């Protein structure tokens, strides 16, 4: 099934973006009267007919729509690495797994303190189409770790992974994919003891992801994979 992204899906005639138009006509070789599907990133899936097969501005007619329910909150808060390639990997793979909300955070040992959200929004859209999801994940503004952990709207199931000594739970034993959840992954230099204690005071569960020390991107994907298990 060919799926494309269209932010505003009307009730009648719409136009695909230049990028999607080129892909539809030049790559997939679709022609007039062929059917495709478009999503708006807000739960709407539409079946459409190509009425003008133009490689820069393909015109489509929406035939029917279906509204899909909003997914259960799965949040990922992480300290962006100094490598944007690795950050892109996190965004792409986490979106495939099912993250609904990204929270870039700055901790004391963070390597990166600036965040170009525009770059990653493009990755979200591309991954949305590839993975067959209907809801575009939210990327929240980058913020200080100490401000993030006191957010009132965070789920009750709140997990934080770190490499220091201390009492920790196995993540697989405390997750519940049917409920709203969030996991926090720190920088390569790990969270400080002060940050860990503040997290505990704000009712975060300290968790382990195994015996090996994981890089940030590996810890993100490993934890999310466990949290999605039913």
Domain map of the chain by residue range?
Answer: 3-67, 74-227
Q: Judge whether residue 212 has pLDDT over 70.
A: yes
Q: How confident is the model at residue 230, as a pLDDT?
A: 56
Q: What is the pTM of this model?
A: 0.90
Fold of domain 74-227: Alpha/beta knot (3.40.1280)
**119-143 pLDDT per residue, tens:** 888 899 999 988 989 999 999 999 9
Residue 50's pLDDT is what? 94
Predicted pLDDT at 112: 86
pLDDT (tens digit per residue) in 15-59: 999 989 999 999 999 999 999 999 999 999 999 999 999 999 999
- Output the CATH code of domain 3-67: 2.40.240.20
What kind and span of H or E run contains 124?
helix 117-131
Question: Using an 8 Å Cβ cutoff, are 15 and 60 in contact?
Answer: yes
Q: Residues with Cβ < 8 Å from 222, sequence gap 6 or more?
A: 209, 210, 214
CA dist., res. 195 & res. 108, Å (int):
8
How far apart are the C-alpha atoms of 228 and 190, rounded to whole Å? 24
pLDDT at 180 over 80: yes
Is pLDDT of 10 > 80?
no
């Amino acid at each position: 099934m060919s799926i494309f992204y269209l932010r505003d899906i009307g009730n009648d005639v719409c136009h695909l973006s230049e990028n999607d138009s080129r892909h539809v006509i030049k790559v997939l070789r679709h022609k007039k009267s062929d059917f495709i599907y478009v999503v708006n990133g807000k739960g709407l899936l539409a079946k459409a007919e190509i009425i003008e097969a133009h490689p820069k501005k393909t015109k489509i007619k929406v035939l029917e729509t279906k509204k899909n329910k909003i997914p259960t909150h799965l949040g990922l808060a992480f300290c962006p690495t100094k490598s944007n390639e690795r950050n892109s990997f996190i965004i792409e793979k986490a979106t495939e797994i099912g993250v609904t909300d990204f929270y870039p955070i700055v901790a004391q040992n963070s390597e990166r303190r600036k965040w170009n959200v525009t770059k990653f929004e493009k990755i979200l859209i591309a991954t949305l189409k590839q993975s067959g999801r209907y809801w575009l994940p939210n990327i929240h503004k980058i913020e200080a770790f100490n401000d993030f952990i006191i957010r009132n709207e965070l789920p009750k199931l709140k997990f934080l992974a770190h490499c220091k000594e201390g009492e920790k739970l196995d993540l697989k034993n405390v997750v519940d994919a049917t409920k709203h959840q969030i996991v926090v992954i720190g920088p390569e230099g790990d969270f400080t003891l002060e940050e860990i204690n503040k997290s505990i005071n704000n009712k975060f569960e300290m968790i382990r992801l195994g015996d090996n020390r994981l890089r940030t991107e590996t810890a993100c994907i490993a934890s999310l994979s466990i949290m999605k298990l039913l």
